[in-house]
Amino acid sequence: MSGPLAGIRILEIGHMLAGPYSGLLLADLGADVIKIEPREGDIARKVSPNFIGPHNEYFASLNRNKRSVVIDLASKEGQAQFHALARSARALITNLRPSAIKKLGLTYEGLRSVNPGLVCVALTGFGIDSPYADRPAYDYVIQAMTGVMQLTGEPDSPPTKTGYSAVDNSAGIMGALGLVAKLVEGKGGQVDVAMYDVMLSQLNYIAAGWLNSGARPRRYAQSAHPYVVPAQVFPTGEGWLTLFITHDDFWRKFSLECGRPQWLADERFATMEARRANREAVVAAIAEVLQTSDARDWTARLAPLGVVAAEVSTLENALASEQVRARRMVVDIPAGDATMRAIGNPLKIAGYAETLQPPPLLGEHNELVTEIGPS
């Protein structure tokens, strides 16, 4: 592999999403990511009902560019094999329960004598040591416990999760960031990433409102922003339009394009502060106007003016867009007799053309450990 992380070996011990996604980002940048799996393999190899050749679709989406070895970490021989790999590695990513991480000796304290320069990244629900450390933690649970579910959805709907695995993906990104930060520092050590902490950090300005002003967060209809008006989705003559107007200059352009110059003189509408104070009146007036045309037409008219407006798309339309083609965000990866289509890497680095390899078969690279015996 070539790339900014070429020559850096990273071990990955995890399952499903957070750890594998972290490893995927690093592997795409050229790191030699060795996925250490139990005999039955990562459970993600069985999650989806769909397969691409021999590869489960779910697993394949998270594990390209990696190598796979099977090691029984609970055995003496397995520990010897793992330690041999750890001596040649720069980092280790784990996403297991803290009790399992400690029991298997996968912390920096447990591996310092094996490789003092090793960076050990633990992705857990609540941190390696905390009051909730050994509670079971999945994306759904963290969204529930951090208030994300309570903040999501229409005002009268039940608590709602995000439409994708926001917690696992965010934790994977933070794990990769912490790992690279330690590599730049040039020292081994422990990086402790709790999914709970990650989601709280992403509530930044919402949490700040409560912590400093006592502003209790609430849901607004049609995904509206708590401070900016208009900033939400609107029904149109056909389809839904996302509209986000902050500066008064953009409000002027929007008002004129809508054929409503009177809005510029209306004290309720004229400034950002006034629009926030008169949310219901502003939203009602805009909703009436937007019904006169469809979402695609409004996007075509408003976007060239610099007004932030976009038709709400389906996933299939988004993946077929010219933007996706130009940015190479859907890629084809040969996988035996099949071709795997996948989302590309979002990091575009000048001078680096990534090479994408299919996900590994279970134990495909066991030759890395077969010659290592028990200590």
Residues marked active site are found at 168
Check residue 279 and report its DSSP letter. Answer: H
Distances (CA, A) of 84 to 77, 345, 369, 374: 11, 31, 8, 10
Q: 96 with 68: CB under 8 angstroms?
A: no
Separation CA 308–CA 246 (nearest Å): 9
Residue 51 pairs with which residues in a beta bridge?
A: 56
Residue with tokens 């795997």: 340
Check residue 26 and report its DSSP letter. Answer: H
Separation CA 195–CA 175 (nearest Å): 10
Distances (CA, A) of 154 to 45, 219, 232, 261, 285: 35, 6, 12, 32, 20
Tell me the one-letter amino acid at 142. Answer: I
Gyration radius (Cα) of the chain, Å: 25
Cα 258 versus chain centre, distance: 37
